Copies of this chain bind each other. A is one copy, B any other.
């Protein structure tokens, strides 16, 4: 049923029904939160054996002392294998990859990169594929970095636009990418997109791709999406230093208590360490070793991620089935992604209705990510896109959430159509 084809009378009938259902939902006093991409307790339980630190007696004693700024080789190896890079290209950090990204930008602002002029010395811009990750955009906004939207499609960011922009504007210093199971659309960048990112000509010599590979092993199906190796492609194209890659175990082991890493060219590693050595003596190598004991190797990481998937896949399935049942293929008021991995479903509603849906949901006790959040400055010009994070919620709460959400989408969209 295409809602846009209905008569005002038919719409009014539907609206009255939805309004009644909505009022009933409001009266229940529900309180459910599907705003953030947080693991649920059952997922976190998987990593609890890590905390007994079995085998810790084999840890080299020096790991308990200062030093080894770039992290322990055992865990660097696992990250290198995970990201398809060399151990020499890895620096391990603390528990937060976001912190590494923030620090990387702050360093470039203050000091420049490899001798380039500090980014602070002139206004700079970042390209932001949209919809994207709100915390990336928040960093740019905080630093006063102007953000330029680049639309995403099913292959990744629009590369015609990216190429044209970076070739002609020296003030464009970076692009944010979540290349695999993108936040929030779930898109994995096509080979052609990765290839073009690696080979394109940039006016700024110190242009960098911020490659946030947050979901590199976070599959929701048996077959992992293929993502081309951007660091290899960049090196081949003579742009070896173009990429800062980030990853963490926050959604492999414990959220906010994992280990983060930056993977980048040996030249970039050297440049980063020359500043990092002023900032800290070392990150937590004991925690790194405890992670190594638990993660063991990439085969075991894949086993862990299989357990993760068994817990969260049904939640994605439940939501998507509910969307299918509620809206079908041709409602004209809602479309959604069915991602192969990552933590989010993107739900697009009728233009001009996303904020209204959020507001209605909130009144009914369902917290969504704020409408607009996946866009720079929180501005979704179409007021269309909602980011749904199903992982954290219990099964019973997810039932409530889908009930409220589908009701509110119909309510808001029919309300809009009635007003046109």
Contact = CB atoms under 8 A, between A and B. Distances in A.
A290 B285 CA distance: 15
A279 B94 contact: no
Interface in A28-63: 36, 38-39, 41, 44, 47-48, 51-53, 56, 61, 63
CB-CB nearest 9 A-B residue pairs: A257-B286, A99-B280, A95-B284, A256-B282, A96-B280, A102-B279, A44-B64, A142-B278, A94-B94
Contacts of A281: 96, 98, 135, 256
Contacts of A283: 94-96, 256
Which residue, of A95, A102, A135, A250, has the highest number of chain B Cβ atoms within 10 A?
A95
Nearest to A44: B64
A257 B278 contact: no
A59 to B, nearest CB: 9
A287 B285 contact: no
A106 B275 CA distance: 12
A17 to B, nearest CB: 38
A66 to B, nearest CB: 5
Interface string A282-298: 11111100100000000
B279 A256 contact: no
Interface in A243-297: 250, 254-257, 275, 278-287, 290
A180 to B, nearest CB: 20
Given A51-B286, A110-B120, 19 more contacts: A36-B66, A38-B65, A48-B56, A52-B52, A65-B256, A65-B392, A66-B255, A94-B94, A94-B95, A94-B284, A95-B282, A102-B278, A102-B279, A110-B110, A110-B143, A135-B281, A138-B278, A142-B275, A256-B283
A139 interface: yes
Contact of A56 (B51, B95, B96): B51
B102 A280 contact: yes
Contacts of A56: 48, 51
A44 B61 contact: yes
Contacts of A120: 110, 120
A66 B41 CA distance: 12
A73 interface: no
A67 interface: yes
Nearest to A103: B279
Contacts of A51: 53, 56, 286, 290
Contact of A96 (B41, B52, B282): B282
Interface in A73-102: 94-96, 98-99, 102
Contact of A67 (B61, B67, B143, B256): B256
B257 A287 contact: yes
